[in-house]
Structure formats: structure tokens, C-alpha cells
Amino acid sequence: MSWRLRIRHTTGYAYDTPVLASFNEARLTPVTDVDQLTLEAQVVTSPEAEQQRYWDYWGTQVTAFDVHRPHSRLVVTATSVVDTADARPAPVVSGWDAVRSPEVRDRFVEMLTPTERTRPDEEMVVLARKAVEGLDPHDAAMAVMALAHERVAYRPGSTGVATSAQEAWSQGSGVCQDIAHVTVALLRAVGLPASYVSGYLHPRREAAIGQTVTGESHAWVEVWLGGWWAYDPTNTVPAGERHVVVGRGRDYADVPPLKGLFSGGGGHRLDVTVEVTRLQ
């Protein structure tokens, strides 16, 4: 059964002294593809700014804007209404040849190559390879996801925006961004193409229609098993009707919800809220 969700994602920056100019890119608009239909989407900024929209290399819709008058506060509000679909069954893959052929390796080379944030250390590689010994690709993917979930405990505030997979692994904790990075690193280490997915999660399995709840900016992974398959290693469930995809990339750096530069301003404080309402 599919769900219809409304998302309201508000990001506020408060600056110690007024900012004179800022340049920003928001990746906050959910994708439309076979499993998801974005019915409405808009990004509103305060102060108001002219917006430029484009689709980036990874297929994510970007809203770029810059502000050129002094401001002490910048608020970006993204709202969208999205139809999501049930989790897909994992693709049936015949064997390792199908996912490790030279053609597959070349086609998905970017999703097989470690990035700065997803480079595994030796222990990660050794344990991942050991975990998948004798398994077919699907079971191997499940084993690796379980390993990531087991080794990196979900602990809010234990990591920061720039934390790498190695750091989260060695400290044994992180948030979903870190768990997704670790999972992606381990999947790639065993030769499975994997991408990082940025989006939202409705926190309740049995969500009441019409009730607005506090949701999450969330991250999970997709793995290539002869077809892309989305799985949420933080919650150990396949991504389904509660998950809203905004973008896919090699790691967080390809799909940051908001990134920007500002001049002046000194320090700043960040305040983020995500509200999710199941509409049907």
C-alpha cells in the first residue's frame, strides 16, 4: 500500500553578527521515479531570494539562491507532498558473476570506489569479507548491513557532519548518516555497488492519517543486486512507504540538504525541524 506524505523541513541559521552575503544550495526536493511521485514541492527562504533550479550530476534537484543584504537569520523552509511505495522485494540475483562482471564494475565504478568519507580501514575490510564468506550476493548484502548495524550504535550527538565511516566505526556509534556511510563502505569492500541515499523518514509504522509528527532528515543505502535495492540499515528494514527519497550519491557530500558560504556573521547556530504528516 502506498502512502501520501506531507513534509515540512525548516532550517534556521542564527548569526552572531549580521551576514552581509550568503550563497547556498538546497537539496530538499524529493525525486520522482518509479517508486515515488512528488506531487508538490517548494523551497521558501527568508530573507527572500531569487532561486535557480537545476538537476545535478547525480540527478538531484537543486535550489540555488544567494542573499545580498545584511541578515541575522536565514530560514529555509522546504515543503512537499509525496506518494511513496511499499518496500520492494530484493532482486533475485543468480550469483556473484552478475554483480561483479567487468561490465557492472565499469558501469557502477563510482558506487564501488571509496570516497573520503566512506574509505574503510583494514579491520572493516577484513570483517566485511569474513562476514560474506560462502554467501550469495543478497545474503552477503544482508550480512554486511547487519554488521554495520551491530558495530555502530545509534547515538544522537556522538558524531558531527564531517565524521567519516572509519571514525564512526572505531568509536562504535553515530547517527544514520554514519551508519549509512559505514554500510556503503562495507558493501563496496565486498564488491557490491552501493549508494548513499538522503531523504526523510516517517517515524511510525502505524501512522495515523492527518496527524503531524516530528520526522527526520534521514539517510539509508541502495545496493546493486542486479537491480538497485533500498535498505535502511539504521532501522534494519527495507526502505518503503515511510521513506522519501531526495537524492542519491556516493556519500553525504553529494547530497547535502543545505550547503552554503557566508561572509561576515561570526559564529552561527543551527535549528532544524522536520514535520511529517501522513495524508493517506
Partner 1 sequence: MADLFEGYPVGVAWDEVLDADGRPREHSAPLVDALRELSPEDLDVRAAALASAFRDQGITFSLSGEERPFPLDVVPRVVDADEWDLVERGVSQRVRALEAFLADMAGEQAVLGDRVVPRRVVVSSSAHAPAAHGIVPPNGVRVHVSGIDLIRDEQGRFCVLEDNLRTPSGVSYVIENRRAMTRVFPELLATHRVRPVADYPAMLLAALRAAAPEGVLDPTVVVLTPGVFNSAYFEHSLLARLMGVELVEGRDLVCRDGEVWMRTTGGEQRVDVVYRRIDDDFLDPLHFRPDSLVGCPGLLNAARGGRVTLANAVGNGVADDKLVYTYVPELVRYYLGEEPLLPNVDTYRCEDPDQLPEVLDRLDQLVLKPVDGSGGKGLVIGPQASDEELATLRAQLEADPRGWIAQRVIQLSTSPTKTPDGIAPRHVDLRPFAVNDGDRVWVLPGGLTRVALPEGSLVVNSSQGGGSKDTWVLARDEVVAEGETTHDDLLPAAPEGRLLDMGNAVLADQQQQQQQGRVTC
Handedness of CA 260, 265, 270, 272 (dihedral sign): negative
Cell 565499469, located at residue: 106
141 binds partner 1 (CB under 8 A): no
Residue 71 binds partner 1 (CB under 8 A): no
Is 153 one of the binding residues for partner 1 (CB under 8 A)?
Answer: no
Q: Which of 150, 182, 192, 186 is nearest to 252 (CA)?
A: 182
Q: Which of 201, 236, 231 is nearest to 90 (CA)?
A: 231
Q: What are phi and psi of 137, to 5 degrees?
A: -55, -40
Phi-psi region of 145 (alpha: psi -120 to 50; beta: other; left: phi over 0): alpha
Coil, helix or strand at residue 185: helix
Judged by CB under 8 A, the number of residues near partner 1 is 64
Nearest approach, Cβ of residue 223 and partner 1 (Å): 19
- Closer by beta carbon to partner 1, 37 or else 259: 259
Phi/psi region, residue 157 (left: phi>0; alpha: psi -120 to 50; beta: rest), is left
Task: State how far the Cα of 132 lies from the Cα of 147, in Å rounded to an integer.
Answer: 10
Cα–Cα distance between 127 and 124 in angstroms, integer? 5
Q: How many CA atoms lie within 13 A of 9 on its CB side?
A: 25
Q: How far is the CB of 143 from partner 1 (least distance, A)?
A: 21
C-alpha count within 13 angstroms, C-beta hemisphere, residue 122: 0
**Alpha-carbon dihedral angle through residues 142, 152, 254, 116, given to the nearest 10 degrees:** -110
176 forms part of the interface with partner 1 (CB under 8 A)? yes
Closest CB to partner 1 among residues 138, 265: 265
CB of 34 to partner 1, least distance (A): 22
Least distance (Å) between residue 215 CB and partner 1 = 8
Q: CB of 156: closest distance to partner 1 in angstroms?
A: 2
- Among 30-38, 81-89, 99-107, 135-143, the segment contacting partner 1 (CB under 8 A): 99-107
According to CB under 8 A, which residues from 196 to 225 bind partner 1?
A: 198, 201, 203, 214, 216-219
> Does 278 sit near partner 1 (CB under 8 A)?
no
| Contact window for partner 1 (CB under 8 A) among 35-43, 88-96, 119-127, 251-259 | 251-259
Regarding 3 and contact with partner 1 (CB under 8 A), the answer is no
Applying CB under 8 A, among 148, 175, 225, 239 the residue interacting with partner 1 is 175
Q: Which residues of the shown chain bind partner 1 in the complex (CB under 8 A)?
A: 11, 13, 20-25, 49-50, 52, 54-58, 64, 66, 68, 105-107, 109-110, 113, 154-161, 175-177, 180, 198, 201, 203, 214, 216-219, 232, 234-235, 252, 254, 256-265, 268, 270, 272, 274
